[in-house]
Amino acid sequence: MAKGLGEDNQRSFQALYTANQIVNICDPAQPETFLMAQDLASKFFGQRGGESQHTIHAMGHCHIDSAWLWPFKETVRKCARSWVTAVQLMERNPEFIFVCSQAQQLEWVKNQYPGLYSRLQEFACRGQFVPVGGTWVEMDGNLPSGEAMVRQFLQGQNFFLQEFGKMCSEFWLPDSFGYSAQLPQIMRSCGIRHFLTQKLSWNLVNSFPHHTFFWEGLDGSCVLAHFPPGDSYGMEGSVEEVLKTVAKNRDKGRTNHSAFLFGFGDGGGGPTQTMVDRLKRLYNTDGLPRVQLSSPEQLFSALESDSGQLCTWVGELFLELHNGTYTTHAQIKKGNRECERILHDVELLSSLALVRSAQFLYPAAQLQDLWRLLLLNQFHDVVTGSCIQLVAEEAMCHYEDIRFHGNTLLNAAAAALCAGEPGPEGLLIVNTLPWKRTEVLALPRPGGTHSLGLIPSPGDSAQHGLCSCSCPNLTAAPASPAACVCCARGECWHFQVGQSCPGTSLMTWGFSASQSGASGEGGLGSGEAIGCGKALLASRPPSAKTDGSVTLDNGIIRVRLDPTGRLTSLVLVASNREAIAEGAIGNQFVLFDDVPLYWDAWDVMDYHLETRKPVLGQAGTLAVGTEGGMRGSAWFLLQISPNSRLSQEVVLDVGCPYVRFHTEVHWHEDHKFLKVEFPARVRSSQATYEVQFGHLQRPTHQNTSWDWARFEVWAHRWMDLSEHGFGLALLNDCKYGASVRGSVLSLSLLRAPKAPDATADMGRHEFTYALMPHKGSFQDAGVIQAAYSLNFPLLALPTPGQVPMATWSAFSVSSPAVVLETVKQAESTPQGHTLVLRLYEAHGSHIDCWLHTSLPVQEAVLCDLLERRDPAGHLPFRDARLKLTFSPFQVQSLLVVLQAPLN
């Protein structure tokens, strides 16, 4: 106290003289002097402070990373050792309260240390052991999808309710690397009103202006947020830390309460008796803030009671550090995106099979196991790639398990959907997205080869479901295919090879690929649409030219590649609008030196941008791949460095509004960063990035320190740069790091950090990104739908028996602004026929829409994200449709009770 309070404080000198007296009286050789010294100390600490003292709420805490510099199995032992210590402290100190997050860790201890777990439940009943957080693990706050974030809370809150009798009211995420703007809405709909973290104290550039504030999310939802002003989740109970908690508080005058989390963390350990004793002495001592052993409920109740002067922060909580975690360990990122898709598709098909087949059992237990594996991998040091090699290898094994078992469940659902159908054997073509699609699909042939088939969507409305192809061995010549396969989500029918789709004519293909720099005549004319009932023009054969360039043209966009594979022109044909900046080159790979100041796997510093080196290709490496028909492509090789190389196929399909770049990289570098750039002929001070259940804008300039601190940001499936009337979108299938500086869109591809995993990202990688020029806004142009389509390809599932002959439409949504994200069985009815539908408003608009369904609906009611009924949420179901009203970026969930199918 003498040291911390300083020479200008009267209480500081009192502390100094008391300490001096204690030293004078206390003789180590005479134990009887200890009591005299203790009396002096007690007298000093017994002098009380005033009523205006700041109150510190001290909570025992033990942050344990579920995996990081140790594997998952070691975490189980860390939990056991740390929590045994906490139990002993709770036994000796009835006023001591220990908070504990992460349902996954509690389940591990339940399974492997049942005696310890029973003791934790006992102390939970006494109010000393307090589960917090509400999630399965302390996940990353940026990279998981919106649905995955919902499942973190769904699994976590249900676990806490089942095992401890109550759900959590606070979201506890002290160590994640940023926080999505959609988290407040997700929290509120999962029964959580409060949020605690401290990670933004790590900002490298700007100090976050608050410690206690209201956090307003993308849709306007608000939660009360608190950052412990001591800027740590591992305090030790020292006077210096207590004084720092008051001195650093940026909301002095607005609130008079703060959290103080004490206990060794990261690798476990937790509080000690010494820490508890220190804090007890400081309970109410003149010159210091009042310290009380407290709980999260007491803390937030005190904050809420005095919240009238608190400020509000709107939007994401962006951490100005650890930007490299958006890219490190690309294979983990790819596994995460793929497994999110697989589980989405399994739930959809299983839900439809539940409706169609009385014998089908929804695989609820298997899906829960697979979801929990995925949620475990979304821990904030795993999906981010900031872990050791052993953990990364375990994570990849988890993804393989999800892929294998997920595909098994997909095939089982497909078989149930086709059971008892009268048609011949073939393929079940499934569109798992809620809008019609016309796409080129690779269909299997004998011997493991594939043929291209065009899958057009009939009908005028966006639809959701199935169709069939009677013969998996389709052939497709460039000008005249042997068969047409038609598909729309929710529709199902059959036709023979050589027959046309119901209500359509036999089609030829509208596409041209020319290796001559020509304009690509023979493609679709300007403004012509691809769809059923219209014959498309055949492409003309490519003609060669000495300059080695290649032009791809499908009548919607025209792409010109120079002899090294770089993009020299991208034209929106209908308006003849060029998307690439004048005199600039797109699809330019660039290499940066990547040597961060602090932590290799976590950080990329702004000064890496000063080391930009374009990777130059060799003329003559570009060649035509697929020569027209349904698909045109060109491919090239690129030597990135003496140790790393890249091959890429640039693909343009008939009817597709974007050009795809299928990329394979053999990467063997040391502290390098690979990106790809697209300079756009677009001017805007804001770029738009997809986040969970929506999108947000970030600046393209560096006006302020808050702007330039966002030199590397995160996005999900797309980002877009638009001016009035025109824009350019960059889509991807497994990347998260991105930036738009000025008019240059940049996608981060690969890093090469050497700690804590020296092998991170080394080896072979495959990924796809796509470029989509568009007229008007990205909302009206369908960028959101295009990015979904890139990430959720049509499924062609072989069936063991017959495929359906009759069409069947399951769902459709009347507005493109509303996305039907999830169809699953309700958690409360594992053997029942109640589905959960999750929809969100994706454009940022107020809108009324109709959800059409052909399912036998008995009842429909709104529910929260934990699938609890809204007492006032009954929805009238008339004429096979429900009316829904959305505000911008609102997420809504529905419980739909169905009639059981007949045997």
Could you give the CA distance from residue 408 to residue 372 in angstroms, rounded to a whole number?
18
Distance of CA 420 to the CA centre of its chain: 39
Taking the CA atoms of residue 579, residue 585, residue 588 and residue 591 in that order, the dihedral angle to the nearest 10 degrees is -130
Q: Residue 527 — very low, low, confident or very high, per pLDDT cuts 50/70/90? A: very low
Q: Residue 165 — very low, low, confident or very high, per pLDDT cuts 50/70/90? A: very high
pLDDT at 499: 30
Q: Tens digit of pLDDT for each residue in 608-661?
A: 999 999 999 998 889 999 887 899 999 999 999 999 999 999 999 999 999 999
* Among the ranges given (136-140, 221-225, 794-798), the one the predictor scored with the smallest mean pLDDT: 794-798
DSSP state of 428: E
Question: Is residue 423 a contact partner of residue 793, using CB atoms and an 8 Å limit?
Answer: no
Give which of 391, 398, 386, 399 is closest to 176, Cα–Cα: 386
Question: Is residue 834 a contact partner of residue 823, using CB atoms and an 8 Å limit?
Answer: no
How is residue 426 written in tokens?
């073939």
How is residue 140 written in tokens?
């990353």
Q: How many CB atoms lie within 10 A of CB 547?
A: 12
Helix axes 389-418 and 330-356, enclosed angle (nearest 10):
20
- Residues near 700 by Cβ (< 8 Å), separated by ≥ 6? 684, 685, 686, 687, 721, 740, 741, 742, 743
Question: Is residue 202 a contact partner of residue 319, using CB atoms and an 8 Å limit?
Answer: yes
**34: Cα within 13 Å, side-chain hemisphere:** 5
Q: Is 562 a catalytic residue?
A: no
How high does pLDDT run on average in the chain? 88
Q: Residue 522: phi, psi to the nearest 5?
A: 100, -10
The secondary element (H helix, E strand) that includes residue 816 is none
Strands, sheet with 737-741, edge to edge from the N-terminal-most edge strand:
613-614, 588-593, 672-679, 744-751, 737-741, 713-714
Question: Is residue 731 a contact partner of residue 790, using CB atoms and an 8 Å limit?
Answer: yes
**804: Cα within 13 Å, side-chain hemisphere:** 26
How is residue 203 written in tokens?
């900002």
Place of tokens 């797309």: 718
Write down the pTM of the prediction: 0.90
Catalytic residue among 65, 175, 345, 603: 175
Q: Is 656 exposed, middle or buried (0-12, 13-18, 19+ CB in 10 A)?
A: buried
Q: How many CB atoms lie within 10 A of CB 7?
A: 9
How is residue 810 written in tokens?
């399951």
**510: Cα within 13 Å, side-chain hemisphere:** 24
Q: Tens digit of pLDDT for each residue in 555-573?
A: 999 999 999 999 999 999 9
Place of tokens 């995925």: 374
Q: Is 756 exposed, middle or buried (0-12, 13-18, 19+ CB in 10 A)?
A: buried
Q: Strand pairing partners for 577? A: 572
Q: Residue 713: phi, psi to the nearest 5?
A: -125, 180
How many residues in total does the chain contain?
903
842 three-state secondary structure: coil
pLDDT at 546: 67
pLDDT at 619: 87
* Among the ranges given (405-419, 753-767, 879-893), the one the predictor scored with the smallest mean pLDDT: 405-419
Q: Tens digit of pLDDT for each residue in 417-464?
A: 888 666 566 788 888 999 888 899 988 877 878 888 888 764 433 345
Quick one: average pLDDT of 376-403? 98
HEC profile of 617-634: CCCCCCEECCCCCCEEEE
**865: Cα within 13 Å, side-chain hemisphere:** 29
Could you give the CA distance from residue 288 to residue 5 in angstroms, rounded to a whole number?
9
Q: How many CB atoms lie within 10 A of CB 775?
A: 13
